[in-house]
């Protein structure tokens, strides 16, 4: 079985060279840590769920919501990134609640009866973080007039920018990276508010990976995060470094879903 690695969460096409350079550093340190047959290139073009369930998976980055829900039996968090982006840092991140710059809304409550775009129902940043925020003010009723599932944060931004939706919750790191790589995509938009902070998107391995190999992968990953030769790649990805993590750190995302359900708001609506 040939091992694979996938870092799809922030793999913007405009930043692919930086992502590849970051992976090259990780791969080098994984080999130094004693991992045999390290993938020399990242796997791209496959559904993320297929990668996360693949027994050949060596290392990936995942969203915390799938980690605690559909893929709780597949993945084990080993490190959390420390990102340099507004609303983020110290291993935490937030969602930016984005509206058009000329929208008169002053708070999330002002969006009642309006249209929302979200990347997917299994996204912490695009759905779960917004759902709990809305649950606090929805009063067990439908809050939005329309919910559009865009499939990607950049598509959600486009829907708000083009007037197809009025608000979207965007991963703060994605919002910053898109602003760096394609500033025209965030022009005419503003951040209305920020979600509660949760642990950032973790680097993870397969849950059944043996303890020795898991320790070596963690050692190699942490060494890569301290390698000065990868400073330029990390800077382009707004990555300050990595901190230790475990699955239990992400239980807050389950608690957010449960709290929304307790308030009578189980789905984004």
Fold that domain 92-197+255-262 belongs to in CATH: D-Maltodextrin-Binding Protein; domain 2 (3.40.190)
CB atoms within 10 A of CB 20: 15
pLDDT surpassing 90 at residue 1:
no
Which pLDDT value is given to residue 186? 98
Average pLDDT of the residues of the chain:
97
Q: What is the mean pLDDT of residues 166-186?
A: 98
Nearest-Å Rg of the Cα atoms of the chain is 19
pLDDT at 231: 98
| Residue 214 structure tokens | 């898991």
| All CATH 3.40.190.10 domain ranges in the chain, comma separated | 4-85+199-251, 92-197+255-262
On whether the CB atoms of residues 176 and 167 are closer than 8 A, the answer is no
pLDDT over 90 at 235, yes or no: yes
Share of the chain above pLDDT 70, in %: 100
Using an 8 Å Cβ cutoff, are 119 and 158 in contact? no
Q: Model confidence at 140, in pLDDT bands (50, 70, 90)? A: confident
4-85+199-251 has which fold?
D-Maltodextrin-Binding Protein; domain 2 (3.40.190)
Three-state DSSP at 145 gives: coil
């Amino acid at each position: 079985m040939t091992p694979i690695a996938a870092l799809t969460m922030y793999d913007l096409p405009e930043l692919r060279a930086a992502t590849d350079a970051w992976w090259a550093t990780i791969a080098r340190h994984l080999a130094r840590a004693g991992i045999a047959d390290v993938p020399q290139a990242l796997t791209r073009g496959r559904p993320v769920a297929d990668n996360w369930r693949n027994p050949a998976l060596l290392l990936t980055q995942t969203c915390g919501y799938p980690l605690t829900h559909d893929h709780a039996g597949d993945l084990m968090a080993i490190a959390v990134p420390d990102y340099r982006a507004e609303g983020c840092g110290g291993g935490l991140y937030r969602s930016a609640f984005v509206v058009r710059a000329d929208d008169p809304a002053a708070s999330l409550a002002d969006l009642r009866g309006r249209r929302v775009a979200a990347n997917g129902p299994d996204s912490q940043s695009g759905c779960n973080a917004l759902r709990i925020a809305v649950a606090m003010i929805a009063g067990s009723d439908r809050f939005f007039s329309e919910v559009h599932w865009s499939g990607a944060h950049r598509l959600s931004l486009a829907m708000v920018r083009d007037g197809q939706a009025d608000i979207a919750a965007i991963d703060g790191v994605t919002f910053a990276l898109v602003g760096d790589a394609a500033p025209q995509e965030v022009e005419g938009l503003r951040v209305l508010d920020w979600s509660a902070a949760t642990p950032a998107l973790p680097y993870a391995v397969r849950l059944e990976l043996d303890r020795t190999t898991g320790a070596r992968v963690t050692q190699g990953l942490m060494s890569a995060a301290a390698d000065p030769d990868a400073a330029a790649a990390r800077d382009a990805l707004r990555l300050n470094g990595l901190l230790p993590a475990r699955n239990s750190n992400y239980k807050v995302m389950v608690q957010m879903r449960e709290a929304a359900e307790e308030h009578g708001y189980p789905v984004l609506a």
